[in-house]
Structure 1
Amino acid sequence: MSGIRVLESFLCSKSGAPDGGDDAIIVTPHFAAVLDGATDSSGVTYGGIGPARFVVEAGLNAIRQLAPDVTACEAVKTLSLAVQQALRTPPDQALWRPPCFVFAMYSAARREIWRVGDTQYLIDGIGQNPDLVVDQVTTAVRRMVLHAQLAQGATIEDLRREDPGHEAATPLFVLQTQFMNRAGSPFSYGAVNGTAVPVELIEVLPVPSGAKEIVLATDGYPQVYASLQESEAGLQAVLEQDPLLINIHIASKGWCPGAASFDDRAYLRLDVSVAR
């Protein structure tokens, strides 16, 4: 048996569309994963497909072809090679950063969660979800600028429409790509972008034999809970109380007027109690 049974699955783009935007979910007989593409708002495309979605699709196709007993490092190498191959297709304009995605994946054969980047997981309600140092820097800059604007009389609605904090942090978003897939720095982080992901940036999390449920989710949820209803309620509470995302949950962007949320989101809850 595959050892995977889906209990809850949900995708939603920040605009409210059910396609997930640049986030994705995949469940095969042997693997289950959530992928989070790094959205590029430049308007550059690969044949009409945005850069993040383009590499996410390459990743989804690679996961479908993984051998059931593949190791975490072998799987990440396969995904990286798939993206490298896909990116041989030139974009219609130059990009300021390499297209990439992060992911969390469950291997039924190995009974492990594999993670690259800042996705989220729970094992029977308990998880360790990353707060990358490189993101702490960029979000702190944005937060400071927006608090300064509020102190000078700007309204929350003004700043939801035009985000000078995000604009101020943009040079750092460009700079942080220098730490992508480069181990050894306090600012290092992993992502699938077609280059090799150092083993130090690949997390392997054993799922205990007695565990019953796991949750995999993208960072479109400020905090992930053991049910979709709780996770959605937590998100809505943050959006209502902190729409700029500079107090309760510190993020690189806020909740824009007319949008469903501040980011795309994916949630996958699995029953892993069945025999392998």
Structure 2
Amino acid sequence: MKSEVLQRFSLGKDPTGYTEDRIVEASGFIGILDGSAGPLGEGRNLITAILDSAVATIESLPDNTDLPDLVDLLSREVATRKRIAGSPDMRLDGGFVFCLFAREFSEIWRVGDCKFRNGPQVNDRMFGAEDISASARSMIIKARQAGGASDCEIMEADGYDDLISELLREQCNLLNRANHPLSIGAINGTSVPENLVERFPAEPGRLMITSDGYPEVFSELNDNEQALARLLKEDPLCISVNRQCKGMRPGRLSFDDRSCISIRLV
């Protein structure tokens, strides 16, 4: 299947330009990596090195590299970097998820909760544990609203970004747990169970791949951006129509880093 990149966009939530998303455009693979420093991630050096190394590795791979080999190679590279850095726990100090179009196979490959739309097919896997954490955050903030706190007071309060830090730490222990209903796959240095590695047949037409910084996925970049803007205006704390584990605050560009790439498949 032939492919042509039509649109690409990436923007961090931080106005400094820092982002933990990466766009991949290699001869055999096109898509998105969505990273996280994790609850033990100190600073940005390790996750930045992991993401940049992963992009370089994917760009260097033969086009006929199959999905299990790709996942194994990326996982081993992350494990090696973490061991060198003295990581105390592979699950707690970050990693990434991905969604890639594999040209040689005419397939869409995914580990984790990146999203895609391919014609009428929309696929946005939810991390069950994260949904529970987002609900807990929503309850905490709604309780503060009920107590009289304004949205601005809530956003500017000390600890706003750490309301569910303990829950987020615990949910990392559910990554890469085979057949666990709350688990999801991630490239974090531990083995990714087979049931958490996904492949889908790609259909001719438009393919849009995004990080989870876009709550809704459309075929056009402008539609993704407009839908996100509406949600952020309606629910800046991200506790109702766009329930998330983090929200807006003064100076923040969105609740999360966001990236997308649109591809024509023929």
TM-score (norm 2): 0.92
- Provide the aligned length of Structure 1 versus Structure 2: 266
Q: What is the rounded CA distance, in whole Å, between the counterparts of 1:165 and 1:148 in structure 2? A: 14
Gaps of 5+ in 1: none
Equivalence for 1:252:
245
More moved, 124-133 vs 33-42: 33-42
Partner AA of 2:11 in structure 1: C
Equivalent residue number for residue 15 of structure 1: 14
Q: Give secondary structure in 1 for the equivalent of 2:123.
A: coil
CA distance in 1, matches of 2:87, 2:190: 21
| Paired amino acid for 1:6 | V
TM-superposed CA distance for 1:52, in Å, is 2.5
CA displacement at 1:172 relative to structure 2: 1.3
- Give, in angstroms, the shift of residue 170 of structure 1: 1.4
Counterpart Cα distance in 2 of 1:43 and 1:132: 20
Give, in whole Å, the separation in 1 of the partners of 2:247 and 2:198. 29
SS for the counterpart of 2:71 is helix
> Does structure 1 retain, via aligned residues, the 8 Å contact 2:137–2:245?
yes
Match of 2:260 in 1: 267
* Amino acid across the alignment from 1:126: Q
What SS is found at the alignment partner of 2:140?
helix
The match for 1:139 is 134
Provide the residue aligned with 1:182 in structure 2: 177
Q: 1:167 deviation in Å?
A: 3.1
* Alpha-carbon separation, structure 2, partners of 1:95 and 1:194: 6
How far is 1:9 from its partner? Answer: 0.1
Q: Indicate how the Cα distance of structure 1 residues 248 and 90 shifts in structure 2: closer, same or farther if over 3 A, else same.
A: same
Instruction: Report the equivalent of 2:3.
Output: 4
User: Could you tell me which residue of structure 1 aligns to residue 30 of structure 2?
Assistant: 32
Query: Partner amino acid for 1:141?
Result: A
Displacement of 1:3 in angstroms is 2.1
Shift, 1:212, TM fit:
1.1
Whose strand fraction is larger, Structure 1's or Structure 2's? 2
Distance of 2:154 and 2:167 partners within structure 1:
20
Q: CA RMSD in A?
A: 2.2
Partners of 1:94 and 1:203 lie apart in 2 by: 25
Deviations 1:100-154 (A, max 9, x none): 1011011000011111111000101431201221111100100001111101101
Question: How much has 1:165 moved relative to structure 2?
Answer: 6.8
2:84 partner SS? coil
Q: Is residue 39–residue 168 contact of structure 2 (8 Å, CA) maintained in 1?
A: no
Matched residue SS, 2:101: strand
Distance 1:217 1:110 in 2: 20
The Cα shift of 1:65 comes to 2.1
Give the secondary-structure state (helix, strand or coil) at the position aligned to 1:189.
coil
Which deviates further from its counterpart, 22-31 or 156-165?
A: 156-165
**Whole-angstrom distance in 2 between the partners of 1:214 and 1:64:** 20
- Matched residue SS, 1:127: strand
Q: Distance in 1 between matches of 2:30 and 2:46?
A: 23
- Find out whether 1:230 has 2:211 as its counterpart: no
> CA separation in 2, counterparts of 1:41 and 1:164?
15
Q: Is the 8 A contact 1:223 1:231 kept in 2?
A: yes
Identity across the alignment (%): 28
> C-alpha deviations, 1:139-179, integer Å up to 9, x for none?
01000011111011011111222376753421111111221
TM-score when scaled to structure 1?
0.89
What SS class does the counterpart of residue 60 from structure 1 fall into?
A: helix
Q: Which amino acid aligns with 1:111?
A: S
Q: Distance in 2 between matches of 1:163 and 1:151?
A: 19
Separation in structure 2 between the aligned mates of residue 34 and residue 15 of structure 1, nearest angstrom: 19
SS in structure 2 opposite 1:128?
A: strand
5+ long unaligned stretches in structure 2: none
Check conservation: 1:146, 1:164, Cα contact below 8 A: no
User: Which digits, 9 at most, give the CA deviation of each residue in 1:194-223, with x for residues without a partner?
Assistant: 121111000111113xx2110110011111
